[in-house]
């Protein structure tokens, strides 16, 4: 069930984007899709989000694999390198960016709130509770210093 819920937003976004780019064979029709004003601008924004999300995912997955999952469970450090230096969930953010990018390319803005609800609201909270149990005060300090999906603006 967890794999389905975790992968569903991205698979759904990619499927809708492919359908939209293929002239709306299945879902690219009312009420599934809307035709927003400034569709060309939204498609450019979608491409930008897609190209921001893919390298972010690559960096997050590489660092997680190299410094966390290649170690035994008791030897895993709290990852604070690369994008993890600024945000706690770069992989989730990359899923959101690429999914929204695909949907904007396909001009299907109706699905954007569903993607956010399925990804951003469900997964980070239980994961953060596990990390607090594993790392304690070190993770609490890290959480206070970094943003969940976007870097925190520091006050001087």
Range of the domain at 65: 2-145
pLDDT category of residue 156 using cuts at 50, 70 and 90 = very low
Residue 152 inside a domain? The answer is: no
| Residue 155 within any structural domain of the chain | no
List, for residues 77-108, the tens digit of each pLDDT value.
Answer: 999 999 999 999 898 889 888 888 887 877 77
pLDDT of residue 119: 66
Q: What CA–CA distance (Å, rounded) separates 32 from 96?
A: 19
The residue to which tokens 């492919």 are assigned? 18
pLDDT at 32 over 60: no
Number of structural domains (the chain) is: 1
- The residue that leads in pLDDT, 19 or 39, is 39
pTM, rounded to two decimals? 0.74
Calculate the alpha carbon distances from 118 to 5, 41, 47, 98, 148 in Å.
7, 26, 22, 14, 16
């Amino acid at each position: 069930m967890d794999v389905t819920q975790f992968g569903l937003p991205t698979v759904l976004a990619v499927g809708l984007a492919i359908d939209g780019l293929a002239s709306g064979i299945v879902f690219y029709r009312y009420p599934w899709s809307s035709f927003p004003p400034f569709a060309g601008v939204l498609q450019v924004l979608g491409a930008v989000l897609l190209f921001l999300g893919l390298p972010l995912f690559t960096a997050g997955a590489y660092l997680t694999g190299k410094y966390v999952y290649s170690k035994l469970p008791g030897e895993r450090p709290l990852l604070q390198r690369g994008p993890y230096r600024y945000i706690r969930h770069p992989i989730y953010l990359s899923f959101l960016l690429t999914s929204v990018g695909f949907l904007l390319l396909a001009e299907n803005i109706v699905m954007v709130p569903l993607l956010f609800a399925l990804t951003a609201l469900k997964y980070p909270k239980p994961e953060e509770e596990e990390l607090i149990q594993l790392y304690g005060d070190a993770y609490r300090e890290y959480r206070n210093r970094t943003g969940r999906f976007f870097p925190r603006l520091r006050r001087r």
